[in-house]
Structure 1
Amino acid sequence: MSETKHVYRFGKDASGNDVTEVAGNTVDEAKYVVGGKGANLAEMAKIGLPVPPGFSITCQTCVAYSSAGNVWPEGVLDEIDEARKDLEERMGKKLGDAEDPLLVSVRSGAPFSMPGMMDTVLNLGLNDVSVHGLIAQTENPRFGWDSYRRFIQMFSNVVMGVDSDLFENAITSLKLKKGVKNDTDLTAEDLEKLVAEFKDIFAKNVDVKEHPEVVVDGRAVFPSDPYLQLRLAEQAVFGSWMNERAILYRKQNKIPDDLGTAVNVQVMVFGNKGDTSATGVAFTRNPADGTNERYGDFLVNAQGEDVVAGIRNTEPIADLRKIPALEEAGNELYHIFEVLEDHYRDMMDIEFTIEQGKLWMLQTRVGKRTALSALKVAIDMEREGRISKEEAVQRVNPEQLDQLLHPQLDPNADLEVLATGLNASPGAAVGEVVFSSDDAVKFAEDNRPCILVRWETNPDDLKGMVAAEGILTSHGGKTSHAAVIARGMGAPCVCGVEALKIDATKKEARVSGTDVVLHEGDVISIDGTTGRVILGSVALVRPELTGDLETILEWADEIRLDPSRGAVMGVRANADNPADAQLSRDFGAEGIGLCRTEHMFLGERKQIIQSFILAESDGIKERALGKLLDAQKGDFLSMFEAMDGKTVIVRLLDPPLHEFLDNPRDLAVELAHLEDKGAAKSEIAEKRDLLRRIDSMTEANPMLGLRGCRLGIVYPELTDMQVRAIASAAAELKSRGLDPKPEIMVPLVSTANELAMLREQILKGVQEVADKYGMELNIPVGTMIELPRAALEADEIGQYADFFSFGTNDLTQTTFGFSRDDVESAFIPMYLRKKILATNPFETLDDGVNKLIKIALQGGRTANPKIVCGVCGETGGDPDSIHTYYDDGVDYVSCSPYRVPIARLTAAQAKIAANGGAISRDK
């Protein structure tokens, strides 16, 4: 027997005593051992809720099994057999028994919720003998045969890889033949025939070489041994941890691949035993908008998969207690809603089954919710006294705020509403109609926004759901696969649009009651907040920081900016124009951490900078510089005015000059055309000379060439021009009574001498402007640390810097030797798949790059104790990176305007975490 415990029991024994084995001191600890599902089943059993008994095989067993090439670790099978025998003893039944068979479900259960991403097998234990025992016990032949056909279909698909459509087609053919509409209209005799047909489908479609364990006389035979069924199902659930959709989901939600999944073997309870039985999925509060109401769906006489698969239209959970036969169980369920919220102090997601009037709890977990719901639930629970402000701030996932910070449908737009469905996931999307996930991916690759239109999505559609702007289904409820996944992703979703008659083969959808037929490529708009489907493109508008979002951000700032609670982390924005500066301020930025002046040289001004670069006389250069000075000064006037009273860090010109010139390839083509058509020799000579000069400035590797501070040293007149523009704009605004606070950043330094030389030049230029305006100008000068040498020499460079700003984009490039423009499409995806890299280092701060940052922080502060250190690269807006920067002691992060609220919230969470507060929300 292995020393490590691989199996944990939950539920009661035959005498009604709880025999639950605890896998950790808390539910959060236990979920890393027996998965979220197993941990919460055990927790519900411990607090006395009705949970069908069972046992959980640990996540660590899954990892060991997978790491060994799908070979069971020594002793594990014996431990599982003991748990299975114990379960049979507790229930007084055996798997496969001819008279009173025990049936079980085999479900996955990862540490973090991954709805629909892994596999489940229900009704396990049925065979040609035990089905008659089930019929005898229930006196319900239809129920027995229906359970058996469901088991064959699910086992064949999940465990053996047989296409589930083969079984669905057989059911559809039988219904057409019988002239009935619903599965429930099929008789016991019909279902018995389906069982035989399903076994034939199994025999014809199982790969006998891949599955020799089910081969008899050279032919695949559906396994009748219930213990073999159980072993194969357990292996299949472990294997589903590494299926394509699960891997993609983990990547999307930043869930580590090395956690594994548990396997939960649990006694079956049946919601399909007639009109006194039901099954459902529900939330203790509304996961779409956070309203304190019971929210969910149920079906009478159905199994749980019917609800989430969307194959039957569901009924709202509020109607459960209105059905006399289910009223008592419904009242008990509503009481359990309260019990769970009180116990977990959060909005909970539950799955339940009512079997002949008896309520059973099959699962609970912290409910996935939209950003809108997360905000309202957190605030309401704080005001109800359930949680503190710190806990409320922790409950909101920063990444989810993107759902609220991007455009919604213009409320004043004229709309042609085609149809309405269920408002499954809020937000708006506009795009071309596509009818398959593969097409959604293709459209996205071609930069064509699309809406994925499906009868109902399934887990294999995840890649298309990720690629699409929004999801629209004609079937399914608010707890269907499409709705749950869309809410988790923050994608707009409208479900259950019954008026939509989809023919995916023809790539068209007819809208009942209209003459409209939607074809692939037609543009529609969907509103996941109201459930509307609109023909054509509707204008989108940007929301404002109001209501619950404003409240939670105010609480976050209260925590983040309170020195008594620990270090303070500021939040600034990267903005290059007045519009973005104003947007940043509206979103709560405390300043501009990066204003890239090269972005001001584009458009109509490109010709001016080109004339400077290519000038062959001082007069031409001076005229170009004069025009650039006027243009830059105007830019800075607007920027500083928009950010009045707040810091604006202006980075001097950074890119190599050839980037402002025409593409030499295009020029060569133009020259060839001139020669072909016999243009004047003087025109050809002029064009040739231009091409020669541009070619002379082109660098093989601009990252290592004439750019950044080197550009300012080689062309000091450019630095003088920019400094005069910055200082003059500040002086004029000060003379008007405003309070501009510019700072000047020198890019790409690698030696202290570079910064010392440029600092002297910059301060001289500022003083000249100050003297001209007759006022004092205090403009700090700092540098961007974006080269490894600069980080290592920060104790020298810091002597000449008022601030450091870490440019993690270039620091990552130069540390790895990667070119960001090339590697993200060339080999980073493969590196991530092969686990050479854990994350994309251009999105989330790399440990090696962070070591350089910590060296630079220490060096800079040694040289200048008053130095201010911030981050302005892409990682400055990444929540995981912000936690690291807080721990490093960075003074502020700067990010794109739309990520400012995300950074404000994350910085507060980082402070709470540093003070010992755990982030309790689920992934």
Structure 2
Amino acid sequence: MSNKRVYTFGDGKAEGRADMKNLLGGKGANLAEMNLIGVPVPAGFTITTEVCTEYNQKGREAVVELMKAEVEAGIAATEKVMNAKFGSKGEAFPLLLSVRSGARVSMPGMMNTVLNLGMNDDAVKIVAEKSGNEKFAYDSYRRFIHMYGDVVMGVDGEEGEHDPFEMVLDRIKEAKGYDSDADFTAEDLKGIVEEYKAVVKERAGKDFPTDPWEQLWGAICAVFDSWNTPRAILYRQKEQIPEEWGTAVNVQAMVYGNMGETSATGVCFSRDAATGEDQFNGEYLVNAQGEDVVAGVRTPLEITKIGSQRWAERNGTSEADRLAKFPSLEEAMPQLYAELNAVQQKLEDHYSDMQDMEFTVQDGKLWMLQTRNGKRTGAAMVKMAIDMLEEGRIDEKTAVLRQEPNKLDELLHPVFDKEAIAKANVLSKGLPASPGAATGKIVFTADAAEQWAARGEKVILVRRETSPEDLAGMYAAEGILTERGGMTSHAAVVARGMGKCCVSSAAGISVSHTALKIKGVEFKEGDFISLNGTTGEVYEGEVATITPSLDGDFAKIMDLAERHSRMYVRTNADTPADAQTAREFGAKGIGLCRTEHMFFEGDRIWKMREMILAENEEGRKAALAKLLPIQREDFYGILKAMDGFGVTIRLLDPPLHEFTPNDAASQKEMAEKLGVAVEVVKDKVESLHEFNPMLGHRGCRLGNTYPEITEMQARAIIEAACELKKEGFDPKPEIMVPLIGTVKELKMQEEIIRTTAAKVFEEKGMEVDYLVGTMIEIPRAALTADEVAEVAEFFSFGTNDLTQMTFGYSRDDAGKFLPVYIEKGILKQDPFQALDQTGVGQLVEMGCDKGRSARPDLKLGICGEHGGEPSSVEFCHRTGLDYVSCSPFRVPIARLAAAQANLR
């Protein structure tokens, strides 16, 4: 750890810089950088992320003592730059502070913030006198007590009770007939301040602190504490942010957007975060503080004229009304807009990326409070990278590395069918806060969203406005609809980061805890609605969706990925349709075709059951002869769909009991269908019962016990390949033996396959190239991979079972304890979702090294679910695999991850 714990910035100077994000957090590093490039930033200092780690290890008292001198020096430096005094009692304008978090990567709304720190009964009088604005001074004081009381002192409502501070405001507004907070007079606010102090005394059991230094240490520690709040932990888990990173704390001089009509505050983006359009945009409020914009309690105005005109068009507002009531910043404060526009362009040019910025105008002077690379939708991510590449701002490597592979998922899922949309009843129209299509049942709370989603229901979370406490429900929902809030509200920003469809500030809707009212019509929990986050419409009922086509900028990104990849991507597919879909997404072959899935379609299951009921080899062969043409037709279609690419076909893997019914009614039906006594069926089902079927009579154990099964499948594969070759196609079958633990198991299966293939070649008078290999899914196979490779021509690592057997976790039962393990830090992530590189990965590496030591040209791939997970794909690249395989809709994600692994 560095000995330096505090880094100052201000007046064009800074001790930090942009490339110090790991130490200073994203916000602190960029505050320093903005100073260095001449952007107006209020002075302050950053306490490093390393101190957060110290804080969690050593505790509050020890860490406060360690950094006390440096924090005091940071305050002194800020006082000098801002010409103000912290704790002033009359000799100077009080230095009031904002205390904010700042992790390495943006975690919007997940951690604590305190504004107006340093305010007390003395300071508020000086602020009122020196600013000439008593209302502003006491409004700032009441905001501080509310925020500090909540964040630092834990003042909150009882279960089921509203925020006690908000209850005070609501009571006074109702009593005086006020419509909003803006109606409060200075005298009202003085009374509110006193009531707020009483709330703190009652709820916290002690007086609100008046000593600014006590306030400061309380706020700094509260920010560190917020790193481990439930919502921050959940966000880190969902976004795969390591716990040990910690957060920095940014202490900065306050500037005020709520000092009157010449002051304002806002959030802006150098490009459109939803579409990627190269259009400066954002929202602002006159006479407001920053939290008013993101909280959604007041509907903000657009920054640009074109944005304001588009807003008015969406909402049916006339141009005259727009200019009179909803002017853009460009029209209301043209000089300030020009200055802000120049700053945003300077920042985008400097960082060569879309910037998300916060700003405040204090009495006509512009201050920039933050800049960061903005969160964006998948579509915007792709468009921005291609546009900037073609503009010459970035190179190909940067364009590829700037993509978040998982965000491509947003582009691969259904959108609303145009014909269905044309017939749909539009209930309302709001802001298109996060694009996409979503349909589901209405729920009104985050808890309900989680509960309904856990039952398999698709839900739309409907809220007046969302807050960080709604995070889990937002993840669970298909989409989010809010009554309030703009394009930079919590709902909008977080939904875009998640890739969730969101419509905010919908016209004419009213949301309570139990109902959604739209133009007099009431919708209850469980009613269906649909959201179009791209255009802002809210539709009644379910609206049909279709799969989007992928072209344009998406195709260009995929071309770049292709050009910069060493490892290629296959798909897991069991049907020609899935194979064709994956090929359109760029898959170069099939890494796993599960033949058992083919036996469940239509009447095929009965032929399979007939084989299972057979008493001897002759009976089994007779039943298998009926399955042969069906299997041959399946393999023909799949090999044809992947013409010219390798197709790995796994021989029958699951235990036979999976093909038989367990309930009495189905057993009776089976007996009648197959013309046997029901007792025969019951006896057979009972004989197939296994105590641990995943480790039982399955995989190659079936093929070696009943070689006629392997013989039938091998014949079907080779006959299909011969037929395709005869027709002029180029089939490349790869026959994979599952679940081998010893080389002898594989050798026995290989002999059956090769003997069968030779017979087919003789019968057809032609030959096709084919490979015989195995799935490495048992630890012993990885440990003896050099022996196995003497027989196998390829290895496909089945990391689903390999993970299961290495950890000793049942995939079917692990859901009962894995969330607890992750929450308690026993595991950092679910090993069935992201490959355990330390343990399971070590077996994969060993298998690769040993296998290629025996057979240098051994083809290596992975076909478990990890094949479409970016960090696992990167591991596979480092390990030297030839390919990864994943489900069709994960293919673009894996292709991009493979390119990024090669470029890093």
TM-score range, shorter chain: over 0.9
Bigger mean CA offset, 867-876 vs 765-774: 765-774
In structure 2, the partner of 1:166 is: 164
1:862 to 853, 869, 872: 853
- Other structure's SS at 1:838 match: coil
1:55 to 33, 45, 52: 45
- Other structure's SS at 1:131 match: helix
Deviation per CA, 1:878-914, whole angstroms, max 9, x where unpaired? 100111110111000000000000011111111100x
In structure 1, the partner of 2:86 is: 95
Give the AA of the match of 1:147: S
For residues 177 and 812 of structure 1, the distance between their equivalents in structure 2, rounded to whole angstroms, comes to 64
1:367 to 366, 374, 381: 374
In structure 2, the partner of 1:280 is: 266
Give the AA of the match of 1:714: T
Q: Is 1:572 aligned with 2:570?
A: yes
CA drift of 1:619 comes to 5.1
Q: 8 Å contact 1:277–1:326 — kept in the other structure?
A: no
How do residues 820-859 of structure 1 correspond to structure 2 at under 5 angstroms? 820-823=811-814, 825-846=815-836, 847-859=838-850
For residues 613 and 107 of structure 2, the distance between their equivalents in structure 1, rounded to whole angstroms, comes to 58
How do residues 95-114 of structure 1 correspond to structure 2 at under 5 angstroms? 95-99=86-90, 100-114=93-107
Shift in alpha-carbon separation, 1:501–1:311, aligned structure 2, 3 A: same
In structure 2, the partner of 1:814 is: 805
Bigger mean CA offset, 252-261 vs 193-202: 193-202
Deviation per CA, 1:385-422, whole angstroms, max 9, x where unpaired? 11001111111100000100010111121211100001
How do residues 661-672 of structure 1 correspond to structure 2 at under 5 angstroms? 661-663=660-662, 666-667=663-664
Q: Is 1:732 aligned with 2:723?
A: yes
Deviation per CA, 1:19-42, whole angstroms, max 9, x where unpaired? 4112xxx623x1111111111000
In structure 1, the partner of 2:604 is: 605
Task: Please report the TM-score for the alignment, with normalisation by the length of structure 2.
Answer: 0.94
Q: 8 Å contact 1:275–1:325 — kept in the other structure?
A: no
CA drift of 1:322 comes to 5.1
For residues 676 and 644 of structure 2, the distance between their equivalents in structure 1, rounded to whole angstroms, comes to 54
Q: Is 1:237 aligned with 2:230?
A: no
Q: 8 Å contact 1:11–1:51 — kept in the other structure?
A: yes
Q: Is 1:626 aligned with 2:625?
A: yes
In structure 2, the partner of 1:376 is: 383
For residues 492 and 8 of structure 2, the distance between their equivalents in structure 1, rounded to whole angstroms, comes to 33
- Other structure's SS at 2:121 match: coil
In structure 2, the partner of 1:316 is: 302
- Other structure's SS at 1:349 match: strand
- Other structure's SS at 2:833 match: coil
Q: Is 1:144 aligned with 2:134?
A: no
How do residues 450-849 of structure 1 correspond to structure 2 at under 5 angstroms? 450-504=459-513, 507-512=514-519, 515-560=520-565, 568-603=566-601, 604-618=603-617, 620-663=619-662, 666-667=663-664, 686-823=677-814, 825-846=815-836, 847-849=838-840
1:334 to 322, 341, 347: 341
2:275 to 289, 306, 313: 289
CA drift of 1:586 comes to 1.2
Give the AA of the match of 1:468: A
How do residues 14-25 of structure 1 correspond to structure 2 at under 5 angstroms? 18-22=12-16
Identity of aligned residues (%): 52
Give the AA of the match of 2:630: A
- Other structure's SS at 2:231 match: helix
What is the total number of aligned residue pairs between the two structures? 869
2:70 to 64, 79, 82: 79
In structure 1, the partner of 2:397 is: 390
Bigger mean CA offset, 132-141 vs 826-835: 826-835
Shift in alpha-carbon separation, 1:323–1:442, aligned structure 2, 3 A: same
How do residues 256-271 of structure 1 correspond to structure 2 at under 5 angstroms? 256-271=242-257
For residues 490 and 552 of structure 1, the distance between their equivalents in structure 2, rounded to whole angstroms, comes to 19
Deviation per CA, 1:204-229, whole angstroms, max 9, x where unpaired? 111x3xxxxxxxxxxx2111111111
In structure 1, the partner of 2:234 is: 248
CA drift of 1:325 comes to 6.5
Give the AA of the match of 1:720: E
Shift in alpha-carbon separation, 1:670–1:765, aligned structure 2, 3 A: closer
Task: Please report the TM-score for the alignment, with normalisation by the length of structure 1.
Answer: 0.92
Deviation per CA, 1:452-478, whole angstroms, max 9, x where unpaired? 000110011001101111000011011
Shift in alpha-carbon separation, 1:55–1:529, aligned structure 2, 3 A: same
CA drift of 1:157 comes to 0.8
Give the AA of the match of 1:497: A
For residues 394 and 35 of structure 1, the distance between their equivalents in structure 2, rounded to whole angstroms, comes to 20
For residues 71 and 371 of structure 1, the distance between their equivalents in structure 2, rounded to whole angstroms, comes to 44
Q: 8 Å contact 2:200–2:208 — kept in the other structure?
A: yes
- Other structure's SS at 2:244 match: coil
- Other structure's SS at 2:723 match: helix
For residues 182 and 840 of structure 2, the distance between their equivalents in structure 1, rounded to whole angstroms, comes to 61
Bigger mean CA offset, 179-188 vs 307-316: 179-188
Deviation per CA, 1:859-886, whole angstroms, max 9, x where unpaired? 1111111111000001111100111110
Q: 8 Å contact 2:330–2:338 — kept in the other structure?
A: no
Give the AA of the match of 2:550: L
Give the AA of the match of 2:844: I
Deviation per CA, 1:2-52, whole angstroms, max 9, x where unpaired? 97111110112xxxxx44112xxx623x11111111110000001111000
In structure 1, the partner of 2:434 is: 425
For residues 265 and 434 of structure 1, the distance between their equivalents in structure 2, rounded to whole angstroms, comes to 39
Give the AA of the match of 1:49: V
Give the AA of the match of 2:599: F
For residues 465 and 406 of structure 1, the distance between their equivalents in structure 2, rounded to whole angstroms, comes to 18
Q: 8 Å contact 2:661–2:667 — kept in the other structure?
A: no
Q: 8 Å contact 2:799–2:864 — kept in the other structure?
A: yes
For residues 240 and 761 of structure 1, the distance between their equivalents in structure 2, rounded to whole angstroms, comes to 63
- Other structure's SS at 2:832 match: coil
For residues 314 and 781 of structure 1, the distance between their equivalents in structure 2, rounded to whole angstroms, comes to 65
For residues 64 and 458 of structure 1, the distance between their equivalents in structure 2, rounded to whole angstroms, comes to 29
In structure 2, the partner of 1:409 is: 416
For residues 829 and 71 of structure 1, the distance between their equivalents in structure 2, rounded to whole angstroms, comes to 33
For residues 346 and 675 of structure 2, the distance between their equivalents in structure 1, rounded to whole angstroms, comes to 85
Deviation per CA, 1:309-357, whole angstroms, max 9, x where unpaired? 0000001110487567632221111001111111101001100000011
Q: Is 1:442 aligned with 2:435?
A: no
For residues 701 and 224 of structure 2, the distance between their equivalents in structure 1, rounded to whole angstroms, comes to 57
Q: 8 Å contact 2:585–2:888 — kept in the other structure?
A: yes
Give the AA of the match of 1:51: V
Q: 8 Å contact 2:740–2:775 — kept in the other structure?
A: yes
For residues 731 and 685 of structure 1, the distance between their equivalents in structure 2, rounded to whole angstroms, comes to 38
In structure 1, the partner of 2:310 is: none
1:875 to 826, 850, 866: 866
Deviation per CA, 1:784-806, whole angstroms, max 9, x where unpaired? 11111111111111011111100
- Other structure's SS at 2:245 match: coil
Q: 8 Å contact 1:422–1:478 — kept in the other structure?
A: yes
1:300 to 260, 283, 286: 286
- Other structure's SS at 1:800 match: coil
Q: 8 Å contact 1:321–1:331 — kept in the other structure?
A: no
Give the AA of the match of 1:549: F
CA drift of 1:635 comes to 0.9
CA drift of 1:70 comes to 3.6
Give the AA of the match of 2:388: M
